[in-house]
Amino acid sequence: MPTVKLSDTAVNDAVLVVGLAKKDGRSFSLVIESGDITLDTKSLLSALKDMAATGNPDEVIKLPGNSVRLLVFTGLGKKKATYSHETLRRAAGAASRSLHGNISATFSLPTPDLDSVGAVAEGAALGAYSFVTFMGSTKSDHSKPISKITVHTSFAKTKGAKAIAKRSEVIATFSHLVRDLVNTPPSHLNPISFVEIIKKEIAGAGGSKSGLKVSVLDEKQLRAQGYGGITGVGQGSANPPRLLHISYSPANPKGSYALVGKGITFDSGGLNLKPGLGMQAMKSDMGGAAAICAVTLAIATLKLPVGIEAWAPLAENMVSDTATRPGDIVTIYGGKTVEVLNPDAEGRLVLADALVRAVEVGHAGKPLHGIIDVATLTGAQGIALGTRTSAVMTNDDEFRQLFLSAADQSGESFWPMPLPQELRPSLDSPVADLANIGERLGGMLVAGLFLREFVPEGLPWLHLDIASPAYNEGAAHGYTSVGGTGVSLRSILTFVESLT
Ligand code: BES
Ligand code: MN
Ligand code: ZN
Which CATH number do you get for residue 348? 3.40.630.10
Q: What is the pLDDT of residue 169?
A: 98
| Any domain includes 213 | yes
Q: Report CA(347)–ligand 3 centroid distance (Å).
A: 5
- Domain span including residue 134: 3-154
Residues 289 and 375 reside in one and the same domain: yes
What's the number of domains the chain is made of? 2
pLDDT tens sequence across 432-472: 999 999 999 999 999 999 999 999 999 999 999 999 999 99
Task: Examine the fold and report which residue of 109, 124, 154 is the final residue of a domain before the chain moves on.
Answer: 154
Task: Examine the fold and report which residue of 130, 154, 178 is the final residue of a domain before the chain moves on.
Answer: 154
Residues 128 and 190 reside in one and the same domain: no
Distance CA 371, CA 386 (A): 25
pLDDT below 70 — which residues of the chain? Answer: none
Residues 136 and 246 reside in one and the same domain: no
Residues 284 and 370 reside in one and the same domain: yes
Q: Report CA(407)–ligand 2 centroid distance (Å).
A: 26
Residues 280 and 198 reside in one and the same domain: yes
Distances (CA, A) of 140 to 122, 135, 179, 188: 27, 9, 21, 22
Task: Examine the fold and report which residue of 154, 186, 213 is the final residue of a domain before the chain moves on.
Answer: 154
Q: What is the pLDDT of residue 193?
A: 98
Nearest CA owner, ligand 1 atom 5: 379
- In terms of DSSP H, where are the helices of 249-396? 276-279, 287-301, 347-361, 379-385
Q: Report CA(231)–ligand 3 centroid distance (Å).
A: 15
- Listed residues: CB within 5 A of ion ligand 3: 264, 267, 285, 347
Residues 175 and 150 reside in one and the same domain: no
Q: What is the pLDDT of residue 142?
A: 82
Q: Is 477 helix (H, G, I), strand (E, B) or coil?
A: strand
Q: What is the pLDDT of residue 140?
A: 82
How far apart, in Å, do the first and last CA atoms of the chain sit? Answer: 27
| Any domain includes 162 | no
| Any domain includes 54 | yes
> Pocket around ligand 1: residues whose beta carbon is below 6 Å from it?
267, 281, 285, 342, 344-347, 376-380, 437, 443, 467-468
Q: Are strands 370-375 and 461-465 parallel, antiparallel or unpaired?
A: parallel
Cβ neighbours of 26 (radius 10 Å): 5
| Any domain includes 286 | yes
Distances (CA, A) of 7 to 24, 74, 106: 32, 20, 9
Stated pTM of the model: 0.98
CATH of the domain at 117: 3.40.220.10
Residues 436 and 303 reside in one and the same domain: yes
Distances (CA, A) of 9 to 74, 141, 145, 163, 166: 22, 35, 24, 19, 19
